[in-house]
Amino acid sequence: MTFIQTHAKRIAVSLLLISLFAHYSRADELFRADFETGDLSQWKQTGTNSVNASERNVQVVTDPVQQGKFAVKITIHPDDVFNQRQLRAQLGGPKVHVQEGSDTFMSFALCMQQPPLDRDNFFYWEGQPPPRWNNVMTWWVEPKGDKTFISYGTGNLGRDGVHWQAEFEIGKWHQLAMHIRWSEDPTKGSVSLWFDGKKVLEKNLKTKGAESVYFCQPGIHRSPHRESIDTIFFDNFILADKLSEVLPEGS
C-alpha cells in the first residue's frame, strides 16, 4: 500500500469516527410514526403484532390531523373480539429493552371527535415472556356524567392505582408525553407525564416486573366486552433516548 493510499485510508477512518461520535452524542429518535407515508408502513418493523387492524377498524385519514397531511383513525366494534373478555383494535407499537434504572421517552397526539361511550384503554406498556405477559401501566379515556376524563394507572389495566386524571376535551388534539424510569422497586422507578405541554405527574412507582422487553399497542382495548362503537385518532408517535425529543417546544 502506497503512502497516499495509507493516508487516504486514515482520513476515511477519521471521518467515519467523527460521524459516529456526532451521531451518538446527540439525542436520537428510536421510532417515529407520523403517517406522512400515507399508509401504515412505519409500523411494519416494530416486531409487535397489530390486532384486528382491518381496513374497517384502522384507516389513515387526512382529517383531522395534528400535523402534516395524515393521521390514523381507529374504531372499535362489539365484534372485534380478542378473547372471551377482551375487545381490541390496535396497532403494533415499538418494543423497548429495559433494565433496572433505564429510561424510556415517548410522546404522541390523540383526539376524539365524539365522546367515548365506554372506557377505552388507548395505550399501555406490557412485558413479554420470559417470564410472562405483564401489563404494568395503562392510559384510558372514559365518560363520567356529561364529561370525558383521561386517566393513567399502574398494574394490569390500572388496577393497582390511578395516579393521574384530568378532563379530556372532545374535538381537540391533545399531546401526551412520558418519561418512564424502569424499576421493580417502587422507590426507584418513576413516571413523569406531560399533557398538552404541561407537566402533570412526577411520581415514584413500581414500573416493571421481571421482564426485560416491553411493548405498546396504541388503539382501543376493552375488558370486558362492550356493545358500543368508539373512534379515536392518533398522530406523531415519537420514541427517543432524550426527553427533549418528545416534548413540544416551550414545555
pLDDT at 131: 97
Q: Is the pLDDT of residue 247 over 90?
A: yes
pTM value is 0.88
CA distance 183 to 161: 17
Burial class (CB in 10 A: 0-12, 13-18, 19+), 161: exposed
pLDDT average, residue stretch 136-146: 98
pLDDT-above-70 percentage for the chain: 89
pLDDT at 28: 79
Mind listing the pLDDT tens digit for each residue in 166-188?
A: 999 999 999 999 999 999 999 99
pLDDT average, residue stretch 179-202: 99
> Do 221 and 116 form a contact (C-beta atoms < 8 A)?
no
Q: What is the largest CA-CA distance in the chain?
A: 81
pLDDT-above-90 percentage for the chain: 86
CA distance 32 to 63: 20
pLDDT category at 249 given cuts 50, 70, 90 is confident
Q: Is the pLDDT of residue 248 over 90?
A: no
Q: What phi, psi does 18 have (nearest 5°)?
A: -60, -40
Domains annotated on the chain, with CATH: 29-245 (2.60.120.200)
pLDDT at 5: 52
CB atoms within 10 A of CB 157: 18
C-alpha cell at 129: 415472556
C-alpha cell at 168: 379530556
> Do 89 and 147 form a contact (C-beta atoms < 8 A)?
no
Burial class (CB in 10 A: 0-12, 13-18, 19+), 189: buried
Q: What phi, psi does 26 have (nearest 5°)?
A: -110, 165
Q: Is the pLDDT of residue 21 over 50?
A: no
Q: Is the pLDDT of residue 8 over 70?
A: no
pLDDT at 2: 60
Q: Is the pLDDT of residue 1 over 70?
A: no
Going by C-alpha positions, the residue among 89, 74, 86 that lies closest to residue 35 is 74
Least trusted range by pLDDT, from 2-6, 23-27, 107-111: 23-27
pLDDT at 111: 99
Residue 105: which H helix or E strand, with range? Answer: strand 103-111
